[in-house]
Chain A
């Protein structure tokens, strides 16, 4: 088992998804149990399904100085960076520590592949069209390279791309760099945007629901895809005494199958126990768990059993994929933000879409929103390839 870590301050965070731009829109939607999914209107020949699309991305081009990075994913990143005063917080951190002493670790599953797809639709004599002959948008580091330029960061910069656990694992990478004294702070987060690859890809695996996704419902029919951007600023606890804390994280591999979770949730449980050990917590101390809860048949079955065997009924659990859709590589940061909102506002989001609970779900499930004190909150993120991560957050010590 790993050693407990020194908690880090989450001194700023922001999220943009189908629920809106910035944390206030998200808190309002979660409190009102109002989802953000809509019938699929993405692309020329949309599949009959529901999506979590972010409004306003099309109307928010990048500033001219960043034109080389122009694509939907980087637009969404830029839109996300402008919410909740995050740009100013990043600037203040640069002034405090220096641009080379701040790491940038971002997660994404498909980055700017949408731009590559567009290029293939408009090939000119077998070549990329001239406006898309930009090497920076045809590679998976596109997001991080753009954000480093946009924020003026000069420290370590890394993209984590482990499918749907990507932007949870960024917290682990950042904590290690800070613990070793290589940097003093880190900007972490993730962005993924709707694109043909994921819509038709998950469709090919028969994992896309024709209706709004219904996590943990007995009649669930698969996932709804979404897009989102989220960012957080991590510093040593002393730098922000009142800020919520990253208490721990866990990472583990299923070693089972490329696209199906381990039937007993082995990797998920290892990641969960690893996170609790690093945070120095017992399972019974956890007030809320934001579940991975994709609404795929298998994930929800395995995850419901995991929660049932580890946590008491006093621990509340819900999936928020019914609000945002599955935002893939951004799901880790989106749901980290929801865990942080739960701590800050004493609100457990209800499991939207679970109208007829799967009998596998125990008494831990919060089917409707609940007002209660939340001191410790976890977030689960599991990805293809059996890649599991779990994050533990807590209120600042009184």
Chain B
């Protein structure tokens, strides 16, 4: 049983790469300048941008890039936001505060701590009433989330925005999560081909294989710094036209075989 989805937009951000074009350049051996400062997240109104935590800025930045590339109106897209850990800085703040002064917990940080914070900010900023979700599957968050988003696109025959992003760990959780820098990526997936189609992917569930990934021109440290980046890299390399096939982990023993059928 294979599924075909059509990629219409791709977003990407890490401290080294400002967008998908930067990854392309990097893979071709011409490293681009690193982005300055925080993810710009220009989809958010200025007051929301000030209030939003780093995890939300990151997710909104890559979501905005992918939707802009697709040319679609964001309000028409259902959305699935994946993240292995959510906002680790807020988790650190909450656990630290609860250990010493629980009644002083900040209400804003509490409501920003929900795993669907980015989905909330995104739907509010874009006036989107479509279904929105927030998912995770530890180190397999991007593979499992891609499966969820593709299933939604095909089952309901509607375009879906899929985002997967993780920020750096903080405090005592840093050595446990082993996430040392931010990474996010996003894809607009459509059930049918159109003039917007950038690539058609055939997805199929299969037993999980060990597939050591060669990032080509990317320094290994880039993907080692963030498990979601490491898991996303094979798909990004395929979408950059450097390979035609990859497998992503979708669950414990399960892989998602991905074959690129054409490039526009």
Contacts and interface: CB of A to CB of B under 8 A. Distances in A.
Nearest to A256: B124
Interface stretch (A15-23, A75-83, A353-361, A384-392): A384-392
Nearest to B96: A120
A130 to B, nearest CB: 12
A69 to B, nearest CB: 12
A255 B253 contact: no
Interface string B194-238: 000000000001010000000000000000000000000000000
B137 interface: yes
Given A156-B144, A173-B151, A255-B124, A120 B132 contact: no
Secondary structure class of chain A's binding surface, majority of residues:
mixed
Contact of A180 (B3, B96, B116, B133): B3
Interface in A258-275: 258-259, 266-267, 270
A36 interface: no
A328 B70 CA distance: 36
Contact of B116 (A47, A138, A176, A383): A383
B98 A160 contact: no
B221 to A, nearest CB: 21
B128 interface: yes
Contacts of B123: 253-255, 385-386
B119 interface: yes
Contacts of A180: 1, 3, 151, 154-155
Given A162-B116, A251-B131, A385-B117, A259 B95 contact: no
Given A158-B135, A158-B148, A385-B120, A128 B115 contact: no
B116 A173 contact: no
B254 A154 contact: yes
A240 to B, nearest CB: 22
8 contacts: A109-B114, A116-B95, A157-B140, A158-B145, A177-B151, A182-B205, A204-B106, A252-B130
A177 B154 CA distance: 10
B129 A267 contact: yes
A115 B192 CA distance: 45
Contact of A387 (B119, B154, B156, B176): B119
Interface stretch (B39-47, B61-69, B83-91): B83-91
Interface string A198-211: 00111111100000
B147 interface: yes
Interface of A: 2, 45, 47, 100, 104, 109, 113, 116-117, 119-121, 123, 126-128, 133, 135-136, 138-141, 144-145, 148-149, 154-163, 169, 172-173, 175-177, 179-182, 196-197, 200-206, 251-259, 266-267, 270, 383-387
B71 interface: no
Contacts of B3: 180, 182
B136 A141 contact: yes
Contact of A133 (B106, B112, B176, B207): B176
A121 B205 CA distance: 42
Given A160-B134, A387-B132, A258 B110 contact: no
B57 to A, nearest CB: 15
B95 A154 contact: no
Interface in B116-174: 116-117, 119-121, 123-124, 126-138, 140-141, 144-145, 147-148, 151-152, 154-156, 172-173
B116 A254 contact: no
B241 interface: no
Nearest to B124: A255
Nearest to A270: B129
Contact of B147 (A104, A156, A258): A156
A126 B172 contact: yes
B116 A255 contact: no
Indicate the member of B106, B129, B145, B177 with the most A CB atoms within 10 Å: B129
